[in-house]
């Protein structure tokens, strides 16, 4: 098979990129290792910046998002005793939207056939070839047969564990990483949220986040040691823990219900430079990871593919390669700022094993300063809604 752009991965970055290219009349194909149902069963991000919602609008795939998404004009930073509302609408004139990654992914997958975007699911042994030549290709196995896609470019949108990043030699790349000594245990349940807006809480029992997917579906997370396993957390134990942390500070108190999903995710910060090697371009989690505290992962995937699709469109429509050449510099400038904000909020809101009373007093002092200073609140708000593209 021949195409212009071979895209590896049908997460948010691969799907958004595929749609943006198809909308410009550029041929592309997505190869995805998993089944459609598997991809849609992964519960991940929940908060979209306008850089992500604007793409859905540009693609005219925003009807369900606009009908079902919740516009959030503020969010909260809390301790055991107090709550600070960050009024993002007043401080920035902007907002974020609560709309699950699974819903966005479903909308993009549903719209693919009518837009001529081919997605090859259950593609095994996906491998990249000749990325630094003029004739790169991707091979994959399906139903016992090996296929090759010849392309002008390859977009590595295959997440943190995909093969694309590994196709870039160590000699021309550099990794930056930071691991955190805890993970997030998440639960999704069909119960009304405990508060009308999100709460990020630094409590004596550790970090907790009260989030939502709708007015009837809640998403909660708590900080857990990396040694913890799901078997250690029967649902009642988690609900007890959430009640202890949120009942004293939330508007409605924690409502319990059967878990639709529970999972534990480790927290890490990671940036891979370079995002381009020859005719291979990386986008989204294949090139960078943020700890989830700032809700930036999916939104960075959206900004990467905005830059990359613009650059590919300039190449095909105008023969102009300057944006392709400038892609990684443009993308990394935004990535590093989102890395900084996610790291900052993670440090501010979690209890770090091994840190003592002094570090905790520093967190409390900073939160008191945030509570009193509109300048601090504005700095947090403008990062939370997303820095300019």
The CB-of-237 to ligand DHB minimum distance in angstroms stands at: 20
Contacted by 191, from ligand DHB, ligand FAD, none: CB < 5 to 8 Å by type: none
User: Rounded to an integer, what distance in angstroms lies between the CA atom of residue 180 and that of residue 343?
Assistant: 10
The CB-of-293 to ligand DHB minimum distance in angstroms stands at: 6
Residue closer to ligand FAD by CB (options 34, 85) is 34
Site size with ligand DHB, rule: CB under 6 A:
9
Residue closer to ligand FAD by CB (options 136, 292) is 292
The residue range among 44-52, 170-178, 232-240, 328-336 that interacts with ligand DHB, by the rule CB under 6 A, is: 44-52
CB 270 within 8 A of CB 175: yes
Residue closer to ligand FAD by CB (options 32, 72) is 32
The CB-of-105 to ligand FAD minimum distance in angstroms stands at: 8
CB 332 within 8 A of CB 80: no
* Interface residue with ligand DHB, options 6, 31, 47, 191 (CB under 6 A): 47
User: Rounded to an integer, what distance in angstroms lies between the CA atom of residue 41 and that of residue 2?
Assistant: 31
**What mask, x for binding ligand DHB by CB under 6 A, covers residues 283 to 302?**
---------xx-x-------
For 268, phi then psi, to 5°, come to -150, 155
Beta-carbon contacts of residue 211 (< 8 Å; ≥ 6 apart): 46, 47, 98, 193, 198, 218, 219, 220, 221
User: Rounded to an integer, what distance in angstroms lies between the CA atom of residue 3 and that of residue 6?
Assistant: 7
Q: Is 211 in the site for ligand DHB (CB under 6 A)?
A: yes
User: Rounded to an integer, what distance in angstroms lies between the CA atom of residue 10 and that of residue 31?
Assistant: 7
Residue closer to ligand FAD by CB (options 1, 361) is 1
Contacted by 265, from ligand DHB, ligand FAD, none: CB < 5 to 8 Å by type: ligand FAD
Q: Is 193 in the site for ligand DHB (CB under 6 A)?
A: no
Length of the chain: 389
The CB-of-77 to ligand FAD minimum distance in angstroms stands at: 17
The CB-of-91 to ligand DHB minimum distance in angstroms stands at: 18
Q: In this structure, what is the dihedral angle of CA atoms 105, 235, 192, 293, given to the nearest 10 degrees?
A: -60
C-beta nearest to ligand DHB: residue? 46
Which three-class secondary structure state does DSSP give residue 64?
Answer: helix
Residue closer to ligand FAD by CB (options 40, 371) is 40
Residue whose tokens read 């990467």: 304
C-alpha atoms less than 13 angstroms from C-alpha of 22 in its C-beta half-sphere: 23
């Amino acid at each position: 098979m021949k195409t212009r752009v071979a895209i590896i991965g049908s997460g948010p970055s691969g799907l958004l990129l595929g749609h943006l290219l198809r909308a410009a009349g550029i041929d592309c194909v997505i190869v995805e290792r998993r089944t459609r149902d598997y991809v849609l069963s992964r519960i991940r991000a929940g908060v979209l910046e306008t850089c992500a919602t604007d793409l859905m609008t540009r693609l005219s795939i925003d009807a369900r998002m606009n009908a079902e998404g919740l516009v959030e004009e503020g969010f909260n930073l809390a301790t055991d005793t107090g709550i600070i509302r960050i009024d993002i609408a007043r401080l920035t004139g902007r907002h974020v939207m609560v709309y699950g990654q699974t819903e966005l992914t479903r909308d993009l997958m549903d719209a693919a056939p009518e837009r001529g975007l081919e997605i090859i699911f259950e593609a095994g042994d996906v491998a990249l070839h000749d990325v630094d030549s003029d004739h790169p290709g991707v091979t994959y196995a399906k139903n016992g047969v090996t296929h090759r896609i010849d392309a002008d470019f390859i977009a590595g949108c295959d997440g943190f564990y995909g093969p694309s990043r590994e196709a870039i030699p160590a000699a021309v790349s550099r990794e930056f990483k930071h691991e955190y000594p805890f993970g997030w245990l998440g639960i999704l349940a069909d119960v009304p949220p405990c508060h009308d807006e999100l709460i990020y809480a630094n409590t004596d029992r550790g970090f907790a986040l009260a989030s939502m997917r709708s007015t009837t579906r809640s998403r909660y997370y708590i900080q857990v040691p990396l040694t913890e396993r799901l078997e250690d957390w029967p649902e009642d134990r988690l609900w007890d823990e959430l009640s202890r942390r949120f009942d004293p500070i939330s508007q409605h108190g924690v409502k319990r219900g059967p878990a639709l999903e529970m999972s534990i995710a480790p927290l890490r910060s990671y940036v891979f430079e370079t995002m381009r090697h020859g005719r291979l371009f990386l986008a989204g989690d294949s090139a960078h990871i943020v700890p989830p505290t700032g809700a930036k992962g999916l939104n960075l995937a959206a900004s990467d593919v905005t830059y990359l699709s613009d650059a590919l469109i300039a190449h095909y429509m105008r023969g102009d390669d300057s944006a392709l050449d400038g892609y990684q510099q443009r993308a990394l400038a935004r990535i590093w700022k989102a890395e900084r904000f996610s790291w900052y909020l993670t440090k501010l809101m979690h209890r770090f094993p091994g840190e003592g009373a002094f570090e905790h007093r520093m967190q409390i002092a900073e939160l008191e300063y945030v509570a009193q200073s509109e300048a601090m609140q504005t700095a947090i708000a403008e990062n939370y809604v997303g820095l300019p593209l």
